[in-house]
């Protein structure tokens, strides 16, 4: 069990790596946590005044297999089940210390464990968890609707309690959120059956058409006020394919027409100003597909904005780790 600390939670961050890439068809995201650390993520957060504790990368080698029957359309189910249980347990332990957990991925299937951990923690505290899904994809498929059977495309559906992966957590407590507390933002690729399910559940979607028409500021303000009106807290699940591929090529599932550099920074700055964010995923960074660390550096800069880095004195990951800092 991770020991409690007395320091204010808003000044402490707990980092947990999840080197997993079997939830996607393109391998390589298991190198994501190392790339984010190499790009200066921890140093940048410390330069912003946070006490950062790196809990290292999780391993599931000692996590026992369960005996439930795997769904017919869920690739690598047994291994992802082990990851989900481990992330749910360890993420919950980090949250209980009062620190802000940051989960370094890894593909988006890790969110089935990380978000469950956060929802369980805040349920214990008596507050509602809302989830902002910054992603080109909705990830709201189930084994019954999926075209690919890749489980990174089922993460949002699982965290909202959809059927089909009911044994994924085993004996680990499941804490699904109501679909009304999920916000898909920047979406531009949704499967047909997935779209039908999203409409049925009344999930809020700010797709790129809406962003183009109304602007990031209006849509983010609307969502933030929704969370604040319920005295909720916010988990941000940041898939780097939220960004346009010209800006962030290091992902395996690129979709043209994503968020620009300015739009993405505005999202993160508004989230920082809201003071509602209490946990974060950074997922789908694939260094094998990146261009000399470019996507990792952009991701780190965006996380810097989320945690209070100002444009007027912005320090990039490269100069944030310069000698003498």
Give the CA count within 13 Å in the CB-facing half-sphere of 182: 28
Catalytic pick from 108, 121, 235, 265?
A: 108
| CA angle, residues 320, 277, 139, in degrees to nearest 5 | 100
- What residues contact residue 4 under an 8 Å CB cut-off, 6+ apart? 96, 97, 98
Instruction: Find the catalytic residue in 172, 263, 269, 284.
Output: 284
Our CA angle for 64, 114, 177, nearest 5°, is 115
The yes-or-no answer on residue 239 being catalytic is yes
Sign of CA dihedral 137, 181, 159, 62: positive
**Given 121, 137, 235, 265, the catalytic residue:** 137
Distances (CA, A) of 258 to 212, 215, 255, 325: 11, 13, 7, 34
In a 13 Å sphere around the CA of 255, the CA atoms on its Cβ side amount to 19
Phi, psi of 137, deg, nearest 5: -115, 155
**From 107, 139, 191, 301, the catalytic residue:** 139
- Identify whether 246 is a catalytic site residue: no
CA distances from 10 to 16, 28, 95, 179, 252 (A): 17, 33, 12, 27, 33
101 CB burial (10 A radius; 0-12, 13-18, 19+) = buried
Catalytic residue among 107, 128, 135, 162: 135
Per the annotation, the verdict on 152 as an active-site residue is yes
**Nearest to residue 24, comparing CAs of 299, 296, 298, 283?**
283
Which candidate in 241, 263, 269, 301 is catalytic? 241
54 counts as catalytic: no
Tokens 């994924």, residue located: 168
Active site residue 121: no
Set 90, 121, 152, 265: catalytic member? 152
235 is catalytic: no
**Annotated catalytic, 241?**
yes
Give all strands (DSSP E) within 2-49, no chain letters. 12-18
Indicate which residue of 21, 162, 183, 239 is catalytic. Answer: 239
> Rounded to a whole number, what is the largest CA-CA distance in the chain?
56
Q: Catalytic site residues?
A: 108, 135, 137, 139, 152, 239, 241, 284
């Amino acid at each position: 069990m991770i020991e409690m600390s007395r320091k204010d939670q808003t000044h402490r961050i707990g980092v947990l790596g999840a080197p997993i890439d079997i939830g996607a068809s393109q391998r390589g995201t298991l190198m994501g946590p190392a790339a984010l650390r190499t790009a200066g993520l921890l140093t940048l957060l410390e330069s912003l005044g946070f006490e950062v504790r790196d809990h290292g990368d999780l391993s599931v080698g000692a996590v026992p297999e369960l005996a439930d029957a795997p769904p017919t359309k869920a690739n690598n189910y047994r291994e992802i089940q082990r990851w989900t249980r481990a992330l749910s347990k360890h993420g919950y332990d980090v949250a209980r210390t009062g620190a802000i957990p940051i989960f370094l991925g890894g593909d988006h299937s890790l969110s089935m464990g990380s978000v469950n951990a956060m929802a369980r923690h805040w349920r214990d505290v008596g507050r509602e968890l809302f989830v902002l899904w910054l992603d080109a994809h909705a990830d709201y498929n189930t084994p019954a609707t999926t075209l690919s059977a890749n489980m990174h495309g089922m993460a949002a559906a699982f965290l909202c309690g959809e059927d089909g992966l009911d044994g994924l957590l085993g004996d680990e407590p499941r804490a699904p959120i109501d679909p009304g507390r999920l916000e898909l933002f920047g979406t531009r690729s949704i499967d047909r059956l997935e779209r039908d399910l999203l409409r049925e559940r009344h999930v809020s979607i700010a797709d790129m058409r809406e962003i183009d028409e109304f602007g990031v500021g209006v849509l983010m303000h609307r969502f933030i006020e929704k969370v604040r009106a319920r005295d909720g807290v916010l988990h941000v699940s940041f898939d780097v394919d939220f960004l346009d591929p010209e800006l962030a090529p290091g992902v395996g599932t690129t979709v043209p027409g994503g968020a620009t550099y300015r739009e993405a920074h505005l999202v993160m700055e508004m989230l920082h100003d809201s003071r509602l964010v209490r946990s974060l995923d950074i997922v789908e960074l694939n260094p094998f597909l990146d261009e000399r660390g470019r996507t990792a550096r952009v991701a780190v800069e965006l996380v810097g904005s989320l945690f209070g880095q100002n444009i007027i004195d912005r320090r990039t990951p490269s100069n944030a780790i310069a000698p003498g800092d």
